[in-house]
């Protein structure tokens, strides 16, 4: 049995202003969900940290989960998408550059739970 795919994404050199912006972060998450044809279960949990802090967004999906954590102080966003059903990931470089202004993205794609 296949356990699915997990993407662990680190986006660097992001705009600190965008990393603090709830609307930018949720737009990124919504684009990933749309591009991967995922289904959100319930309401996403989004927390904006005070002052110079970032944003944490968590989405429960019928296919598993999506999490995004932003760190304006270092210009970094970390994203984790796990899908228990086969699918192609989005163009992470494009999505992160569009919404967060990143200039460098590292993506690790992991096969999960398979024999």
Domain extent listing, the chain: 5-111
- How is residue 54 written in tokens? 């970032």
pTM: 0.93
Please report the pLDDT score of residue 1 as a whole number.
Answer: 47
pLDDT in tens, 66-111: 999 999 999 999 999 999 888 889 999 999 999 999 999 999 999 8
- Please indicate whether residue 91 is annotated as part of the active site: no
At residue 23's C-alpha, the angle toward residues 69 and 57, to 5°, is: 30
DSSP assigned state of 47: E
Range 5-111 has CATH code 3.90.1300.10 = no
Query: Which one of 64, 68, 96, 99 is the catalytic residue?
Result: 64
- Please indicate whether residue 69 is annotated as part of the active site: yes
Question: How far is residue 55's CA from residue 14's CA, in Å, rounded to a whole number?
Answer: 13
Q: How far is CA 81 from the centre of its chain?
A: 6
Please report the pLDDT score of residue 6 as a whole number.
Answer: 94
pLDDT in tens, 20-75: 999 999 999 999 999 999 999 999 999 999 999 999 999 999 999 999 999 999 99
């Amino acid at each position: 049995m296949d356990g699915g795919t997990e993407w662990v994404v680190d986006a660097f050199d992001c705009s600190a202003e965008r990393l603090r912006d709830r609307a930018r972060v949720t737009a990124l998450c919504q684009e990933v969900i749309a591009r991967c044809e995922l289904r959100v279960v319930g309401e996403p949990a989004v927390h904006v940290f005070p002052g110079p802090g970032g944003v944490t967004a968590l989405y429960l999906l019928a296919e598993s989960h999506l999490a995004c954590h932003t760190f304006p102080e270092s210009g970094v966003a970390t994203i984790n998408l796990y899908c228990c059903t086969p699918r192609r990931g989005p163009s992470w470089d494009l999505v992160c550059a569009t919404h967060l202004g990143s200039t460098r993205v590292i993506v690790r794609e992991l096969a999960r739970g398979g024999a």
